[in-house]
Amino acid sequence: MQVLERTPKVETKLPAVGTTIFTVMSQLAAEKAAVNLGQGFPDFHCDPALVDAVTQAMQAGHNQYPPMAGLPVLRNAIATKIEALHARQYSANDEITITAGATQGIITAVLAVVRPGDEVIVLEPCYDSYVPNIELAGGTPVRVPLTPHTFRPDFDKISAAITPRTRAILINSPHNPSATVWSEAEMLRLQDILAPTEILLISDEVYEHMVFDGQQHQSAARFAGLAARAFIVSSFGKTYHVTGWKVGYVAAPASLSAEFRKVHQFNVFTVNTPVQHALAAYMSQPAPYLELPAFYQRKRDLFLDGLRKTRLKPLHTQGSYFQCVDISEVSDLSEADFCQWLTSEIGVAAITLSAFYGSGFDQRVVRFCFAKKMKRCNWLWRVWPSCEALFLS
């Protein structure tokens, strides 16, 4: 019998997908020893008390599988927080599931409800995992643009995109990459549009605690007509400066959570135990998340002070830890070439907005992450004027 020694050919399920822009730019930043203002993650430490709490949980022997849906004590803490902040009760038992970050929460929700032939509306620019998630479920992504330059939901276009095959809509506020935040009126408008339909909502709220200038995060949990059809996804990575721990959660009505858990139990089964214990203990004090807006608003403002000394034009950051800038007065390069140049020649990594569009639409805007030590950003503003002079000459 002939032994086949070559690897069998596989037809890719994701022909349009390569390595994510975040990984590509972080690799380039490391290679060039550049300051990484590209990939969204803090370059500072989390609260040492949180690390101690994980150590204590491990030492106390919490090292085996937790319950499939997550530790009850953590689910209770989340239910308590949602009720305190958004006045909606979720049953910790049946309606909250701990996930391996928001990434797993989103794909699990999509796999749980989207079938081949279903359409799912995404609002572009959008986070890079959404479209591949829909495609893996056999669904068809329907891309609806946010308003040009201002990145607001365009409800006429959203309404026009709805068909009898629309299964879900995926929204994200505070928004990555544009740093806009949905208003109450916008959430109400979405609620009205969805009211006569069976369309589900996947609401990516990972930056829920980074909303600035006294504005409030308008969680889907605050709106009865949205909460009743929503998978609300959040991430402890963002809130507690621990993106590498990969723990998040999904809150959804019991019938949706039951379907979610059917998939969850076979794609991760459960999420690491000592971190769940630590997060549950840490969440008992609200101060860390209540103080987060002021913490990041200060970073945003310092970043803006630097930007104002340049010809880079800042867009308005309402929330998240991202600052977008219009590069058109500084350079004729495409977003991708500008980011390559900035990383390789100036030593600062940024992310193109075009990476968040299926078409690669280039509007000459790039994204910086300011969840960084301020001395790193300040260095950029010190060197930038001479770079700009060089560039413009």
State how far the Cα of 10 lies from the Cα of 302, in Å rounded to an integer: 49
Interface positions, 62-121, toward ligand GLN (CB under 6 A): none
Number of residues that bind ligand PMP (CB under 6 A): 13
Q: At what angle do helices 273-283 and 72-86 cross, to 10 degrees?
A: 40
Interface positions, 20-49, toward ligand GLN (CB under 6 A): 20, 22, 39-40
Residue 206 touches ligand PMP, criterion: CB under 6 A: yes
For residue 20, the partner it binds in ligand PMP, ligand GLN, none, with Cβ less than 5 to 8 A by kind, is ligand GLN
Residue 102 touches ligand PMP, criterion: CB under 6 A: yes
Residue 42 touches ligand PMP, criterion: CB under 6 A: no
Interface positions, 107-146, toward ligand PMP (CB under 6 A): 127
**Maximum CA extent, the chain:** 73
- Token pair of 307 as six digits: 């930007």
Q: How far is the CB of 82 from ligand GLN (least distance, A)?
A: 22
* CB contact at 8 A, 66 and 273: yes
| Helix, strand, or coil (residue 192) | helix
- Interface map 147-186 toward ligand GLN (x if CB under 6 A): -----------------------------x----------
Residue 208 touches ligand PMP, criterion: CB under 6 A: no
State how far the Cα of 158 lies from the Cα of 152, in Å rounded to an integer: 11
Tokens 């950029």 — which residue? 380
The torsion angles phi and psi of 233, rounded to 5 degrees, stand at -115, 130
- Token pair of 203 as six digits: 């609401």
> What is the secondary structure of 13-35 as a DSSP string?
S-TT--S-HHHHHHHHHHHTT-E
**In Å, what is the CA distance from 226 to each residue of 87, 144, 190, 218, 307?**
14, 19, 8, 11, 38
For residue 204, the partner it binds in ligand GLN, ligand PMP, none, with Cβ less than 5 to 8 A by kind, is ligand PMP
Q: Which residues of 302-326 are buried (b: 16+ CB within 10 A; e: fewer)?
A: ebeebbeebbbbbbebbbbbbbbbb
Residue 103 touches ligand PMP, criterion: CB under 6 A: yes
Question: Which one of 42, 101, 139, 314 is in contact with ligand PMP (CB under 6 A)?
Answer: 101
Q: Which is nearer to ligand PMP, 61 or 244 (CB)?
A: 244
Q: Which is nearer to ligand PMP, 45 or 309 (CB)?
A: 45
The residues that touch ligand GLN, with contacts defined as CB under 6 A, are 20, 22, 39-40, 176
Q: Which residues bind ligand PMP (CB under 6 A)?
A: 40, 101-103, 127, 172, 176, 204, 206, 235, 237, 243, 248
